[in-house]
Structure 1
Amino acid sequence: MYTRYFSRLLSAMAGPRPVVLSGPSGAGKSTLLKKLMKEYDGVFGFSVSHTTRLPRPGEEDGKDYHYVTREAMQAQIDGGEFIENAEFSGNMYGTSRAAVQAVQANNLICILDIDMQGVKNIKRTDLNPIYVSIQPPSMAILEKRLRDRKTESEENLQRRLRAAQVDMEISKELGLFDVVIVNDNLEDAYGKLRDALLVEIGKVKKANMSS
């Protein structure tokens, strides 16, 4: 029932084709996104996710996440207001239909940074995004990157590494992603990401010039 409901809602969404970006924590998604949005200012918009976790120092409600209670988020999920949602480390995360529509309404390419469970949920909708997976060169390099951050407890780090191992295996599934980018060299990885999105970038630029 919800799949048909989502399909009707997403068919009605107007605007540029969104981009689903996925990959393990530490693979370099945030760094690549920052480069992309700096080079193509006014082309991309970031879908602001909802979460039940507390804000970290420096994070802003409505900018980094929409911080909500578990009860409020569950009610919205039950009401069919979310495209995808998942639970990680005891906290709920999700992307609302309204968050995507807010970006598309401004003729921007909506970027959705989500996990593998979310990717599979969106596959069941009519959102029709470009699916991009950013992967680390190896588990050893990923572990070093995560440890160098010094932001995780050992327990959380091990949990992230286990999730990353699963993520890396699932990303190899044929047809799941349009592009799989191994972030071994930042400039090379960025070039591949940009190339994958150039057609949509061109459409947005053309629309902006004619408006």
Structure 2
Amino acid sequence: MARASKGFLGRLLRGVLLLVLVFGLIGPVMVTTIYRFVPPPVTWLMIQRVFEGKGFDRRWRSLDDMSPKLVRAVIAAEDAKFCDHNGFDFDAMEKAFESNAKGRKLRGGSTISQQTAKNVFLWPGRSYVRKGLEAYFTVLIEVIWGKPRIMEVYLNSVEWGPGVYGAEAAARKNFGVGADQLTPAQAARLAAILPSPLKWKAARPGPYVKRRSGKITRAAGTINREGMAACVLS
């Protein structure tokens, strides 16, 4: 009886370890590899917004068919070191930690790679478990996708307004043009509202968004002159 019990426990343990291996390690690698070539479907956030009555508008567009002005504006606004880091900007993370520890307005230190991993694979919210998974998926997409694909998926998945996802839907919603026809000012406005897309407006910006978009326009010029988007734009 004792030997049979030990045998059962051994098989159970091996089964659990196999499930952990498949779903915890192999599964994410396989899904990430598939998304290297196939547009990721709806995200958890998109589903949540639908249930909140926000609607759904997303139109996939390849990175080559988007305006380089938007790419440079988003890099300037969200992650100036996008082409230099391997998924994590530790200097920005340290500054964010210090800012938050002093009780200032909550500041994030996430890179575009981290935001993409969170948007595509994970659920909204803050927890150590989710942050750990975010780091894991960030490493995976940096290794498997590379910078151009990360930028392409980011620009097609990020929330840009109530029920609006991706650059194409955002450009048409706000300015009535495709993502390939955005002017520098329009691109800067779209980049400016990314931190709070449900609060700020790109088409009818308030004073803060106008100031922020002006800074982004100037920073995007620096990104262009210094080749800081070379990993994405040929």
Q: Which has the larger radius of gyration?
A: 2
Pairwise same-fold verdict (TM > 0.5): no
TM-score, normalization by structure 1: 0.28
TM-score, normalization by structure 2: 0.26
The structure in which a higher percent of residues are helix is 2
The structure in which a higher percent of residues are strand is 1
